[in-house]
C-alpha cells in the first residue's frame, strides 16, 4: 500500500534521496527513524496540533507501568478475530505507538509492513518511531487521511478524533472499524476530586450507530482497578483532559495523593462497513 499525496492525491513512492515523491513532483522528506510528515498547513487548526509534549510524556510514563496492557490485549483480540494475512490495519490517533506494539504481539499474521499509524501531533509520531515497530508512521489529520479509497481493511480509534466520512472512503467494503472510548465508570476517583457533580462518560459512538452503512458486530467492556502511587498518579492525571479543567488547588490535591485506587474502564465496539448501506 502506498501513501496518497495530500496535495494531488497521486501515489507517493520512495526515492533514492530519503523522500516520498509523486508523479506530479510533490515530495515529502522521510525522517531518519522512518516516519513522514504529510500534514499540510491548511489541515491544522493550530500551530502545534494534537496532544501537547507534556501530555505525551505523562502518557508514555504511565504506559510504562503496564496498567493499560489489558486494554491493548483486549483490542488486539478484537482485531485478530477479523484479520487475514496481508490485510492493512490503520490506527488513527496512534499517539506514541503503545498500542501498535500490542497489535504486533497480539494479532497473528500481522506484519509491520501492513500496520499503519497516524497522528496529527508531530511529537507523538516521533515517539512512536522510537519504538521501532517497523510500522508505517505519518503525521496527518484524521479528516484528510493520506490513503487511497478501499485500501484499508481494519481501522482502530482509541480515544482519538475521527472523521467517519474519511474512514468510509479508505475502508474496504466489509471492513471493520474498532472504536474505543471510556466506559461509564472510567477514572471516577479522579473526577470526584475535581467535580462537585460527577457526570458519566459519553462515548463518541453516536455517528457510527446512527449510520445505515455500519453494522455493529461486537461490543465489549473491559475494566480493571489500579492502585497507583506517585509518580503514576500525576502521570495518569497529566495525560487526561481533566488536568486542564482542574484548578491549581485540585491539581495539587491529586498530585499529593500517597495512593489512589482508580477504575480503568473502556468500551470496545466493532462495526462492519457496508458501502451500499
Whether residue 39 lies inside any domain: the answer is no
C-alpha cell at 53: 509534549
Gyration radius of the chain over CA positions? 19
Quote the distance between the C-alpha of residue 114 and its chain's center: 16
Whether residue 54 lies inside any domain: the answer is yes
Whether residue 128 lies inside any domain: the answer is yes
Which residues neighbour 253 within 8 Å (Cβ) at sequence distance 6 or greater? 193
Mean pLDDT of 1-18: 93
Sheet with 89-92, strands from edge to edge, namely: 36-37, 136-139, 115-119, 89-92, 152-158, 171-182, 260-273, 214-228
Query: Would you place residue 151 in the very low, low, confident or very high pLDDT band (cuts 50, 70, 90)?
Result: very high
Whether residue 40 lies inside any domain: the answer is no
Please say if the pLDDT value at position 250 is more than 70.
yes
Cβ distance 79 to 178 under 8 Å?
yes
Residue with grid cell 481501522, as numbered in its chain: 155
Whether residue 10 lies inside any domain: the answer is no
This prediction's pTM: 0.94
* Counted domains in the chain: 1
CATH code of the domain in which 249 resides: 3.40.50.150
Whether residue 165 lies inside any domain: the answer is yes
Q: Return the SS3 of 124.
A: helix
For residue range 169-214, list pLDDT tens digits in order. Answer: 999 999 999 999 999 999 998 888 888 776 666 668 999 999 999 9
Whether residue 145 lies inside any domain: the answer is yes
Strands 136-139 and 36-37: parallel
Query: Which structural domain, as residue segments, surrounds residue 212?
Result: 48-273
Whether residue 55 lies inside any domain: the answer is yes
Please say if the pLDDT value at position 43 is more than 90.
no
For residue range 259-273, list pLDDT tens digits in order. Answer: 999 999 999 999 999
What does the DSSP 8-state code read for residue 42? Answer: G
Amino acid at each position: 500500500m502506498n501513501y496518497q499525496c495530500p496535495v494531488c492525491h497521486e501515489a507517493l513512492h520512495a526515492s533514492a534521496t530519503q523522500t516520498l515523491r509523486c508523479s506530479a513532483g510533490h515530495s515529502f522528506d522521510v525522517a531518519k527513524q522512518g516516519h513522514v510528515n504529510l500534514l499540510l498547513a491548511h489541515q491544522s487548526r493550530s500551530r502545534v496540533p494534537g496532544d501537547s509534549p507534556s501530555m505525551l510524556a505523562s502518557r508514555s510514563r504511565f504506559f510504562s507501568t503496564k496498567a493499560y496492557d489489558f486494554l491493548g490485549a483486549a483490542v488486539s483480540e478484537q482485531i485478530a478475530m477479523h484479520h487475514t494475512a496481508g490485510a492493512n490495519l490503520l490506527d488513527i490517533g496512534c499517539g506514541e505507538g503503545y498500542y501498535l506494539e500490542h497489535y504486533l504481539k497480539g494479532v497473528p499474521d500481522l506484519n509491520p509492513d501492513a500496520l499503519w499509524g497516524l497522528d496529527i501531533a508531530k511529537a507523538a509520531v516521533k515517539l512512536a518511531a522510537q519504538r521501532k515497530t517497523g510500522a508505517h508512521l505519518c503525521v496527518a489529520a484524521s479528516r484528510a487521511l493520506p490513503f487511497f479509497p478501499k485500501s484499508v481493511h481494519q481501522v482502530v480509534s482509541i480515544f482519538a478524533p475521527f472523521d467517519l466520512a474519511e474512514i468510509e472512503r479508505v475502508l474496504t467494503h466489509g471492513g471493520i472499524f474498532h472504536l474505543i472510548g471510556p466506559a461509564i465508570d472510567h477514572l471516577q476517583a479522579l473526577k470526584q476530586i475535581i467535580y462537585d457533580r460527577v457526570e458519566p462518560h459519553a462515548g463518541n459512538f453516536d455517528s457510527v450507530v446512527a449510520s445505515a452503512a455500519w453494522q455493529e458486530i461486537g461490543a465489549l467492556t473491559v475494566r480493571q482497578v489500579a492502585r497507583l502511587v506517585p509518580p503514576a498518579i500525576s502521570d495518569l492525571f497529566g495525560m487526561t483532559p481533566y488536568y486542564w479543567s482542574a484548578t491549581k488547588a485540585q491539581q495539587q490535591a491529586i498530585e499529593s495523593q500517597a495512593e489512589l485506587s482508580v477504575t480503568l474502564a473502556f468500551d470496545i465496539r466493532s462495526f462492519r462497513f457496508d458501502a451500499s448501506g
